[in-house]
């Protein structure tokens, strides 16, 4: 979490005065708690368009991988049923720190049933940020794009903004943003610090 936050910090607006002490922390100081991690994400969003936010996440993800990793992933995990199921199984333990408890579920893709779905019971990132735009621009879209286009393994993520759960389906090609229901999602007007209550659609999804 600290490694990811440190990478994101390079693109973030300066922290509030109360957070200045964090600027002097070294790479060895595992001082980022989850609240700080979400705060970095929020500061990355500031003054950036929807596309620019997604590009930052892509660049950060690439910077955390060794050279040639995407090409190697494509060789190891071609878009097969086995690869989709294997990555779903890995997601449960390895993404727990980011999204909270999850479980593998059976899904149907092109008429074929397979255990390549992951049900996130209540997304920790969405719950802590309380922000629709952060969920879509900093997690859903860039993660989908990264797996689909960089790794060559399609991934579709479907957040439920009513109960804050989310379904990830490996092997399923994601819709375009314009065709995705999230593009019409309203803000969490009562809990998001960046919300514009007068807007019928989250303004962070329009810029």
Q: Looking at the domain assignment, is residue 150 inside a domain?
A: yes
Strands 155-160 and 102-109: unpaired
Closest alpha carbon to 154 in 75, 74, 57:
74
Residues 188-207 pLDDT 10s: 877 776 767 666 678 778 76
The predicted pLDDT at position 173 comes to 97
Structural domains of the chain, count? 1
Residues 86-142 pLDDT 10s: 999 999 999 999 999 999 999 999 999 999 999 999 999 999 999 999 999 999 999
Q: Looking at the domain assignment, is residue 76 inside a domain?
A: yes
Q: Looking at the domain assignment, is residue 203 inside a domain?
A: no
pTM surpassing 0.75? yes
Residues whose CB is less than 8 angstroms from the CB of residue 180 and which lie 6 or more positions away in sequence, other chains included = 174
Q: Looking at the domain assignment, is residue 178 inside a domain?
A: yes
Structural domain boundaries, residue 108: 1-12+33-184
Closest alpha carbon to 192 in 123, 124, 135, 120:
135
User: Please, what is the Cα angle at 127 between 122 and 129, to 5 degrees?
Assistant: 150
pLDDT at 83 over 70: yes
Q: Looking at the domain assignment, is residue 151 inside a domain?
A: yes
Q: Looking at the domain assignment, is residue 193 inside a domain?
A: no
């Amino acid at each position: 979490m600290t490694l990811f936050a440190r990478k994101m910090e390079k693109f973030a607006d300066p922290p509030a005065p109360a957070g200045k002490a964090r600027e002097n922390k070294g790479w060895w100081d595992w001082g980022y708690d989850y609240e700080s991690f979400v705060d970095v994400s929020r500061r990355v969003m500031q003054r950036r368009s929807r596309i620019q936010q997604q590009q930052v996440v892509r660049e950060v993800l690439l910077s955390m991988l060794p050279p040639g990793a995407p090409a190697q992933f494509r060789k190891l995990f071609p878009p097969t049923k086995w690869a989709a199921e294997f990555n779903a199984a890995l997601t449960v333990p390895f993404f727990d720190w980011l999204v909270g408890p999850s479980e593998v579920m059976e899904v149907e893709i092109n008429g074929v049933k397979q255990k390549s779905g992951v049900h996130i019971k209540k997304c920790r990132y969405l719950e802590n940020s309380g922000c629709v735009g952060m969920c879509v621009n900093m997690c859903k879209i860039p993660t989908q794009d990264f797996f689909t286009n960089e790794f060559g393994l399609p991934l579709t993520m479907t957040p439920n903004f009513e109960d804050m759960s989310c379904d990830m389906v490996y092997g399923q090609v994601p819709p375009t943003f314009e065709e995705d229901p999230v593009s019409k999602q309203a803000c969490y007007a009562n809990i998001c610090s960046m919300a514009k209550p007068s807007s019928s659609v989250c303004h962070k999804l329009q810029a």
